[in-house]
A and B are shown apart, each in its own frame.
Chain A
């Protein structure tokens, strides 16, 4: 596990390719799951991950190392996800809830897990991000605040509100 200081030293000595290989090894899985939980389908998640890594690669030389590389990468991924969801909505693609039913090749969960995913999908995209990050990945509010650029108080309120809504929807779906 490389620290930010090691990565910074590699970049400052001009060895960007080594630094980036380490970043991919260290963060690609977490980034992928962060994206996948938002877009649900593997192909979409793969496309967004590639865009995220490409942007990270081209922006690595301008990264200031004042913030953690982890928050920077997650911020890029989050922006890519939100852009993707906006585009999907404007293109009037099949709703994610229906796509989850249609493509179950890479969904191994049971009925209750599927119901939970459907309940989460009924949240607005930004609230969904907050819920997923906190509920599944236990991301600290402090880190979430840096990634999403929102105050910790607002994030806590958003999560508790989202959790109440998901709980209610889940009960409805499982009746």
Chain B
């Protein structure tokens, strides 16, 4: 307990010190101090989460020592889990950022970047331990704004300002919904503690309204389709370690909020709550990966994969909520456990992949995959770490992505226990969509890794690429290790997640019977799997095969030659398959969704049309959501804004009149209200 208090103190002090140091000290020293503050805070947060979960005490810590009235903090299992997520990615990002932001020296404001990193991490940490709506909302807004400023770092690059505007627009629409939700749940007083919200008895209509508002607000932050539009714009233009933090942690706050509100504050809801979450998750997962396949901007591709993985997390949580409604508590715990497991897994591998993409960007200077290639020889360590991340996100055994997807599958397979066939039949459809998603994700990461790192460099910049500084490598290595570790110790992680769930009073998973040991058996014995033994077996076989070849007397000669090119001598990068070509079959298969436009213009030689001088091919994908959903909304907004502008005449007298008038009206309303 004392240790937890001390660690909380470190978290609450280290970040502000980091902010001050970043603002006060210039140059490399300031960069280092900001990183040190962030690292200390993140590690303390990680330790705090681990101590609280390890102690297994629910509510472990209630902080009352804060001088400011209105702020309330409390750590339970869910907070502790998310503190760990923030800590793991935050620590890696802090170290990586130290090396990465060196390139910004003299170009962009390092002081602002360092300070905002600390503000972001502090607001994230406070948010997950907030115990009333006011604290939560202030931290939420601080998180949104600090992320906004960090997205704006490279403000002179094309597209950055526009992306930041989209981000802040969507996130504030969500914020408004969250304020409304908390006002509904707390009866108008935002300083009411979460404990009294839990015990408040709300009418079903109010509960439903609060749920829908919350789902909207949290989905806007999480990047769930159709509120995902900001994500593929904002994540690529931010500095890469900020992208890692945003994709790995910031969007997870949508997951945290959804869980906090549904399974903790509101308690059990009708089945359609879960159904809605499951449906949104399925659509996000599939559309996220389908749009990712068509991307050739490495960071945009990763951003779309965040949409996909948030979808997978939502599938798990949605299934859990449905099961809870039908009283299947073991399956409900399985679904939510799968969602939480995927949350920390995604934080690790997506953080890793964004850091890897940042290293590539650092070395090659472009995000366009068509200008890369051959980096595995020039940046071998980055390539290896990126490969680990790519395997993990493609759900390849025995890494962590596979374990959590396996759990999601098992939860969905348990759907046959639902007594109502019309509800149960949703589950196989979700299974099929999830399977398609993971297959497409594997295809996408063959593309992402293959085109970026393998074969011949497609540009002189790629040919001149070099390995990144040590600090960046260390962060990637740490996250890669986390991916492996989370994959190899599923029973350990599931046990910890069981503690998370049992600390929530209104979620009744105490009777959950995961059989934990080397094999992981899910409740009801639907399936059984042991990733550590699987990994051991694979390693053993991987060693035995070369041994067998050697004992069997296989030839050991090896000659280096040219790639076969139908007899043509001399291979150039222009003969390679491109990312566009790689994704072409799937673009044709899903043409109905993509609605690709094609422009083909061929320049013939005047003498004969058998001599082609140049070919220009241009193809674009119809951005459906932007045009159909958001364009009318933005047009309407513009009309309203033009109309409102008339109020603003520029005359001080007029403004004074407005104020007086508004004050009078408010006073009258207040009087009448009483």
A-B interaction: no
Interface residues of A (CB under 8 A from B): none
